[in-house]
Amino acid sequence: MNWEDTLNKLEKGELRSAIKENGKWIAQTQVKEAILAAFKAGELKEFAGGFVDKHNLAPREFKVDNKVRMVPGGSSVRRGAFVASGVIIMPPAYINVGAYVDAGTMVDSHALVGSCAQIGKNVHLSAGVQIGGVLEPIGQTPVVIEDNAFIGAGAVIVEGIQVSEGAVIAPGVILSKGIPVYDCVNERILTPGEPIPAHAVVVPGTRPFSKNVWAKEHNLQLQCALIIKYKDAKTSASLTLEDLLR
């Protein structure tokens, strides 16, 4: 797959670095290989403002016709990233190569959308949110945030974690493959890599570090995440995105 053609199609939304098939997100290895080929083919170039990067991965520029509102102040969308109509990007924010950000989403200040991350429609990425990216290993599925999810300030979601439609991730939650998620509603522990269920409300939690005697004596705790409820009408009302901002 030609890297230049791939980057062009990624920017237009005609190609994605991960797709959902039969309810499961799958990495598109040929797309990721083409992105890596672009890095290899690129040569360092000086850009305005003292920046240096690969010549073929220059930041994107938007026009009014794109209907993307990128507020001035230091944000950047890298070549090969798709940003749909109606997206708002508050400064400073960064969207990396291969990422897909769908219509109506808010990318707030100091938020990162990592390489190949998939962000759905009407998602709110609050200030300081870190959405991890992945180009290697080539077959690893990127972080996916599905439609209408709300990601609270300072949340960190990495290592291919998937957040299903309408879920609410509270401020400060960290989700990775090594952090267990306890569903307190259904009284079960999500299996490693299992998607956060649709409409789940997830908050930070702790659990005893009982495997180490010294840690247990000192009441040390390990981090975890807790599903404390599933979104109801009251929760939905408190998280309604204001159309006037768009």
Amino acid in position 115? S
Does residue 213 lie in a domain region? no
DSSP state for residue 224 in the 8-state scheme: E
Strands of the 156-157 sheet, one edge to the other? 76-77, 94-95, 112-113, 130-131, 156-157, 174-175
pLDDT at 235 over 80: no
Domains identified in the chain, total number: 1
SS (H, E, C) 57-81: CCECCCCHHHCCEECCCCCEEECCC
- Residue 66, in any domain of the structure: yes
Q: Which domain holds residue 53?
A: 3-178
Residue in 183, 182, 136, 124 with CA at minimum distance from that of residue 160? 136
What pLDDT digit, counting tens, does each position of 8-64 carry?
A: 999 999 999 999 999 899 999 999 999 999 999 999 999 988 999 999 999 999 999
Provide the 10 A C-beta neighbour count for residue 19. Answer: 14
Q: Is 235 contained in some domain?
A: no
Q: Is 103 inside any structural domain?
A: yes
Residue 94's SS3 state is strand
Q: How far apart are CA 104 and CA 185, in angstroms?
A: 31
Q: Pick the residue with more confidence: 207 or 136?
A: 207
CATH at 96: 2.160.10.10
Helix, strand, or coil (residue 40): helix
Q: What is the pLDDT of residue 48?
A: 87
Q: DSSP letter for 3, please.
A: H
The confidence score (pLDDT) of residue 109 equals 98
In this structure, is residue 33 part of a structural domain? yes
Asked if residue 240 has pLDDT above 90, the reply is no
pLDDT of residue 117: 98
pTM of the model: 0.94
* Mean pLDDT value across the chain: 94
